[in-house]
Amino acid sequence: MRERGHLAAATKRGFDVVVAGLALLLVTPLFVALAVAVRFDSSGAAFYRQTRVGRGGRTFTLLKFRSMVLDADRLAANITPAGDPRVTRVGCVLRRWYLDELPQLLNIVKGDMSLVGPRPETPEFMRRYTPDERRILSIRPGLCGPSTLAFMDEECLLAGSSDAESYYVEVVLHQRAAADLTYFDHRSLRGDVAILVRQLRVIVGQRSARADIRRIGRRMVVISMIVTALAGVALVSLGRDLLAGRGSGFLIDNLAHASVYAALSLLLLVLVVPAGFTSRWGRVVAVALALALFGGAIEVAQGWVGRDSEWRDLVADVIGICLGVSVWAMARASMDRRRARDVPREGARYRSATTERGEAFGAMAHRDVVSRDGASSRRVAP
């Protein structure tokens, strides 16, 4: 019986590694595009790290795409009701489509998590578990699971309660644990596949992309699609170039050079040039020149070691750098225009609220003065 349990666990672990590894390979272009979109939308890192409780009660670092403003965990409790002002514009779209959870594929490959299982909780919420509920700590937590399916509308439930944190701790937390315990007692590989399929069907079938496109802007959507295509071409062409060797052909070789340098320049610009930096174009030129010199050095080194080195490769590198800088400039211009449009609107809203408060306080003060004057007149009158 114990050997059968070990075999089932090994089969499940092999399934997790194979599926998560293939998914990581396929969504790498999307990873790059989402990281660029998160960095351009608001200040802060593209990834968010949080401590969760895993198998055996051991803590691990869970990865997500950042969907909230910087230091959001210091502003409010560790729950997110619908309409939470800490959620960014891009973050709202990521959360609706569960794209912010994609980096957890790395947690699965590492061994911290599984594709299907109980959702990991933070230590402060895990302390609220009963001894029976802690049985779920004997298996790896999952990227999705029965509790995730049962509470797809959790944000709306929390928003409808008068005290979201108390409602989560007293009601939602234990209902999620009950669903995970049912999975724990009847888990199987076939059941895991069924849960994965149901999760994908619910995410894709119950969400419309039109509202999300309007929310983040069509220009940002186009830029994200360009970045995704760019990273995809880089991955495919470089892979074919490496697998086929130098005889892979002129077109594939130059596509590999141009796309790799375009993706590399874009990522470096996102990481090196911070938002609001006054002399950012100086850094853009520095990054472009550094990459061009790097490409030239690679070509010279190839000539030294006896490999074929052509000037066309360097031209393809320069074209890729120019393409990456152009995409970055388009994204920066789009973000600057959106901020320039939003700031006056926010300023007008602030001034309107300030004026209303000022008028209200003025009316209160006027009534207070009139009442005091009236009282004084009554006291002085014979």
Q: How far apart are alpha carbons 185 and 171 in whole angstroms?
A: 22
Among 324, 341, 358, residue at a domain's last position? 341
Q: How far apart are alpha carbons 97 and 192 in whole angstroms?
A: 20
Max mean pLDDT range (42-46, 109-113, 224-228, 308-312): 109-113
For the cut 80, the answer to whether the pLDDT of residue 288 exceeds it is no
Predicted TM-score (pTM) of the model is: 0.70
Residue 11 lies in a domain: yes
Q: How far apart are alpha carbons 149 and 191 in whole angstroms?
A: 13
For the cut 60, the answer to whether the pLDDT of residue 296 exceeds it is yes
Please tell me the predicted confidence (pLDDT) of residue 351: 42
What are the residue ranges of helices labelled H in 119-188? 123-126, 146-150, 154-159, 164-167, 173-185
**136 and 166 inside one domain:** yes
**127 and 73 inside one domain:** yes
**30 and 148 inside one domain:** yes
Residue 86 lies in a domain: yes
Summarize the confidence of residues 325-336 as an average pLDDT. 73
**CB atoms inside a 10 Å sphere around CB 143:** 24
Residue 368 lies in a domain: no
Residue 281 lies in a domain: yes
**201 and 230 inside one domain:** no
Among 214, 249, 266, residue at a domain's last position? 214
Confidence category of residue 249, pLDDT binned at 50, 70, 90: low
Q: Which two tokens stand for residue 368?
A: 């207070």
**66 and 166 inside one domain:** yes
Please tell me the predicted confidence (pLDDT) of residue 259: 72
Three-class secondary structure of residue 112 per DSSP: coil
Max mean pLDDT range (76-80, 130-134, 214-218): 130-134
**58 and 193 inside one domain:** yes
Please tell me the predicted confidence (pLDDT) of residue 356: 44
Determine phi and psi for 250, rounding to 5 degrees: -65, -45
Confidence category of residue 44, pLDDT binned at 50, 70, 90: confident
**175 and 282 inside one domain:** no
For the cut 90, the answer to whether the pLDDT of residue 247 exceeds it is no
Summarize the confidence of residues 20-37 as an average pLDDT. 86
Three-class secondary structure of residue 377 per DSSP: helix
**210 and 226 inside one domain:** no
Please tell me the predicted confidence (pLDDT) of residue 349: 42
Please tell me the predicted confidence (pLDDT) of residue 113: 96
Q: Which two tokens stand for residue 174?
A: 């234990």
Residue 367 lies in a domain: no
**Please, are residues 75 and 86 in contact by the beta-carbon 8 Å criterion?**
yes
Q: What angle do CA 162, 165, 167 make, to 5 degrees?
A: 60
Strand-pair category, 59-65 with 114-116: unpaired
Please tell me the predicted confidence (pLDDT) of residue 310: 59
pLDDT digits (tens, 9 = 90+) for 347-366: 444 344 334 434 443 444 44
Q: Which two tokens stand for residue 143?
A: 């990227």
**283 and 208 inside one domain:** no
% of the chain exceeding 90 in pLDDT: 34
Summarize the confidence of residues 262-279 as an average pLDDT. 60
**71 and 180 inside one domain:** yes
**88 and 134 inside one domain:** yes
**259 and 313 inside one domain:** yes
**Please, are residues 117 and 138 in contact by the beta-carbon 8 Å criterion?**
no
Residue 203 lies in a domain: yes
pLDDT digits (tens, 9 = 90+) for 197-207: 999 888 877 65
Residue 374 lies in a domain: no
Please tell me the predicted confidence (pLDDT) of residue 39: 82
Three-class secondary structure of residue 351 per DSSP: helix
Give me the domain span that covers residue 114.
2-214
Among 198, 214, 230, residue at a domain's last position? 214
Question: Structural domain tally of the chain?
Answer: 2
Confidence category of residue 253, pLDDT binned at 50, 70, 90: low
Residue 332 lies in a domain: yes
